[in-house]
Amino acid sequence: MLSYLVRRLAGILPVLLVVSLLVFLFIHLLPGDPARLVAGPDATPQDIAAVRTDLGLDRPLPEQYLRFLVHAVRGDFGQSLKNHLPVAEVIGLRFWPTVILTVTAMAWSTLFGLAIGILSAMRRGRWPDYAGMVLAVSGLSFPAFWLGLLMIDLFSVRLHWLPTGGFEGWKSLVMPSLSLGLGVAAVMARFSRSAVLDISREDYVRTARAKGLAERVVIGRHVLRNALIPIITMVGLQFGFLLGGSIVVETVFSWPGLGRLLVDSVAYRDYPVLQAEILLFSVEFILINLLVDLAYAAANPEIRYQ
């Protein structure tokens, strides 16, 4: 296990480096002079020159990259162009709302997705299967932001049950987490159905049935326990999907999280914040994938020795 961990970590380092290089180059790929962007539209040539020296933009690119890397490791991404607060502080404020939203969405969607998928597999070819899979393919095709708007229309504007947006108490969490989780619930339902069906075809399941075990024991002890390994992997992979989805859903519900901050920083051309956010999202995504692989390797010794 330890050697597997070391190998995986070694494999991730180059990816992290290239990602950080791309994020660093991002500000240089933008049309226009980065110093002018940072100094703002009303800056005089002297201001721009000062900013250039200040940020080290007059240094050679490799040196700038090293400097960026060292600062990034310390969590220093400069100042927001919008409100001149340190970028780390701006992002820190938005971090927890997004974590709360994604974890809630993950929790309900995994629960419902699994239930629907397992039920569909157990009643294969009968109406619960069809109903479950119709729900799943619909959920997969449903635009999250449209679901959000429909729910606001019904539950906020017409029924006055829930607030239209914001971040106050559990009531404001209901609709955003439902919109965000729908797609994941659909993927989980489809995936768990096929995982359960795959395992059901194994010889040991037939043996378990043949020796006369009750169906719930066959399903509970032999099928589900083994199907859970790929399912757990899938749960981890869906976190990346949720990170992406939160960008749109947070915009619909004015949720004060990282996703809306990202959209705002594109609109305001707040490049230091944008740069830090892209890096943060990708690093989170890479780390989640690593954790998934490690969990998978812990559960399945074959993987470790490949």
Partner 1 sequence: MSQLAAQDAPAVRSPVTEFGRRFLRQKVAVVATLMLVAIAATACLAPWIAPFDPAAADYDTILAAPSARHWAGTDAFGRDVFSRILFGARISLMVGFVSVGMGSLAGILFGLASGFYGGWVDGLFMRACDVLLAFPGILLAIAIVAILGPGIDNVIIAVAVFSIPVFARLVRGSTLALKTAVYVDAARALGAPDHILMLRHILPGTLPGVIVYCSLRVGTSILTAASLSFIGLGAQPPSPEWGAMLADGRSYIGVASHVTLYPGLAIFLTVLAFNLVGDGLRDALDPKLKRP
The residues of the shown chain that bind partner 1, judged by CB under 8 A, are 14-15, 18-19, 22, 26, 29-31, 137-138, 140-146, 149-150, 152-153, 157-158, 190, 194, 237, 240-241, 243-245, 247-248, 251-252, 262-263, 266-267, 274, 278, 281-282, 285-286
* Sequence-ordered list of residues with C-beta below 8 angstroms from that of 114, at least 6 positions apart, any chain: 188, 189, 192, 231
Nearest distance from C-beta of residue 53 to partner 1, angstroms: 25
Q: Smallest Cα–Cα separation from 101: which of 46, 166, 162? A: 166
Taking the complex as a whole, the smallest distance from the CB of residue 222 to partner 1 amounts, in Å, to: 22
Comparing CB distances to partner 1, the nearer of 73 and 157 is 157
In this complex, which beta carbon is closest to partner 1, that of residue 64 or of residue 282? 282
Q: Between residues 220 and 244, which has the closer beta carbon with respect to partner 1?
A: 244
- Least distance to partner 1 from the beta carbon of 215, Å? 26
Two structure tokens written together for 103? 């974890």
Q: How far apart are CA 140 and CA 187, in angstroms?
A: 7
Task: Provide the minimum distance between the beta carbon of 278 and partner 1 in the complex, in angstroms, as a whole number.
Answer: 6
Q: Count the neighbouring beta carbons within 10 Å of the beta carbon of residue 16.
A: 15
CB of residue 194 to partner 1, shortest distance in Å: 6
* Residue with smaller CB distance to partner 1, 30 or 303: 30
Helix (H) or strand (E) holding 36: helix 34-39
Which element (helix H / strand E) includes 110? helix 87-122
d(CA 244, CA 258): 10
